[in-house]
Structure 1
Amino acid sequence: MRSASERGLRVVGAVVGGYLLTVLTVIAAGAVLARLGMARSEAVALSSMLGFVFYLALLVWAFSVRPAARLWIVLAAGVALMATVIHLVD
C-alpha cells in the first residue's frame, strides 16, 4: 500500500507535471513541423491534437510506474529537453 504523501506526489506529478510537459511538447512539435515546411496553422493543429493523446499516455504511465521518483525524473528531463528544442528552433 502506498502512503498518502506518495499518492499525492504522484497525482501532482501526473496532472501538473504531465500538463506542463504536454504543453511544451505541443509547442516544440508545432515549431519543428513548421520549420520542416508544413503550414504553420496545420502544424499547430496537428501537434495540438496529438497533445491530447500524449497527455493521456502520460497520465496512464504516471500511475503505473513503480517509484514516484522515476516519474519526477522523467518529467523533469522531458521538460528540460522540450525547452531546449523550443529554444533551438525558434
Structure 2
Amino acid sequence: MSSTPFTPPSRLHVVARIAAAMLGGYAFCWGFVALFIASMFAAGMPFHDAESLSYMLAFLHFLGVFLWAVAARSLARVWGVLAGGGALMTAAAWLIQRALL
C-alpha cells in the first residue's frame, strides 16, 4: 500500500474532465443514436419506432458514459474513446444510410 498523500486535481483538470464528460459524451451518444436508427431502419423497424427507442437508450447510454468519463484514470483515453467512437459510429451510420438510398 502506498503512503503518498492525496493531492487534489487542479481546476483546469476538473474543467477538462467535465468538458470531456459533457461534450465527448454528447458526441458519443450522437453517434450511437445515428447508428442505432440507421441499423434498426435497415433491419425493417419503422423509422419513428427506431428513433424513439434509440433516444430512450441514449439517455441511459449517456449516463453510463458520463460516469465512466469522470471515473476513468486517463483523460486522454476518455477523449479518444468518446470522440473517436462517436466519429466512427457516425461514419458507420452514414454508410448504412447511403446504402439504403
TM-score (norm 2): 0.83
Bigger proportion of residues as helix: 1
Where do residues 58-77 of structure 1 align in structure 2 (5 Å cutoff)? 58-77=65-84
Where do residues 40-51 of structure 1 align in structure 2 (5 Å cutoff)? 40-51=47-58
- Aligned structure 1 segments of 4 or more residues deviating by more than 4 angstroms: none
Q: Deviations over 1:50-89 (max 9, x none)?
A: 0000000011101110111111111122122112212211
Q: Quote the sequence identity (%).
A: 34
Where do residues 23-34 of structure 1 align in structure 2 (5 Å cutoff)? 23-34=30-41
Q: Aligned AA for 2:10?
A: S
* Contact 2:31–2:88 (Cα < 8 Å) also in 1: no
Aligned-partner SS, 2:73: coil
TM-score (norm 1): 0.92
Structure 2: where are the runs of 5+ without partners?
A: 1-7
**Over alpha carbons, which structure has the higher Rg?**
2
Report the RMSD for the aligned CA atoms in angstroms.
1.0
Structure 1: where are the runs of 5+ without partners?
A: none
